[in-house]
Structure 1
Amino acid sequence: MSADRSARLLSGLLLTAGVAHFAMPRPFDATIPRSLPGRPRTWTQLSGVAELAIGAAVAHPRTRRAGALAAAGFFTAVFPANVKMAVDWQDKPAPQRAAAIARLPLQVPLVLWALRVGRR
């Protein structure tokens, strides 16, 4: 895959996720670790804004490197929310439980993808 296409796909993923945080915030609110101060919705909105800003940075060649490095950091930072989801969803139906658990190892390729985009 070309470097430009890879960057566009990463940008699209981040922008789509950012919009989803505002369009459907409740599932995201449920993943916010209780140890964070304040309301879960505030964290959902902040992470949505971060994804939109990072996605926009990755989209533009002049800011792509910084945006991609921010994406790698962001994907690492949200890992505790994914762990919380996997733990909280233990009594959900099997497909949802499997999806929550499958998200955990997917963070690694996302981080590596962002780092690769940042190097090109």
Structure 2
Amino acid sequence: MTVPLRRDAKVVVGAFLASGTVHLVKPAVFEPLMPSWVPAHKEVIVGSGVAELLCAVGMMLPATRRAAGVAGAALLVGVFPGNVKMAVDAVQGSNRPLQAVSLARLPLQLPLIRGAWRAGRA
């Protein structure tokens, strides 16, 4: 019997499909998130977009859900420093909406990580 994808994992799949597409179509959007110590910014951005899309598709398929869920959780943990950098940079600036969004994103990463992890554990 195939277990249906959990609701929290569906949210992760949707987020990965949207974000992964933006990574490929408009990689410059993610340039400000890149820590200076990360080499080859554009290549890393495109690569992480491909990884997001692969994880999303993998979580939708029961045969690959376990690996894709664990990989998706690891990916979210891996990009978290970029989210922190974005929030720190925003707080130092004067754009209030960007500050709010950047800071609100940080705690939202935890349910996304949990959703991907749970998909991998199902």
**Aligned-partner Cα distance in 1 for 2:14–2:106:** 21
**Equivalent in the alignment of 2:35:** 33
CA contact (8 A) 1:19 1:52 kept: yes
- Structure 1's consecutive aligned runs of 4 or more residues displaced over 6 angstroms after TM superposition are none
Post-superposition CA distance 1:18-74 (Å, at most 9, x none): 101122221211111111122x21111111111111111111110001101111101
Equivalent position to 2:17, from 15, 18, 33: 15
Moved more, 62-71 or 13-22: 13-22
Residue ranges of structure 1 left out of the alignment (5+ in a row): none
Residue ranges of structure 2 left out of the alignment (5+ in a row): none
TM-score scaled by structure 1? 0.88
Q: Per chain length, whose mean CA-contact separation is higher, i.e. which structure has more relative contact order (CA < 8 Å, sep 6+)?
A: 2
TM-score scaled by structure 2? 0.87
Matches within 5 A, 1:48-59: 48-59=49-60
**Equivalent in the alignment of 2:43:** 42
**Equivalent in the alignment of 2:119:** 117
**Aligned-partner Cα distance in 1 for 2:11–2:62:** 14
Please give the root-mean-square deviation of Cα atoms over the aligned residues, in Å.
1.7
**Aligned-partner Cα distance in 1 for 2:53–2:75:** 12
**What is the CA distance between 1:118 and its match in structure 2?**
1.7
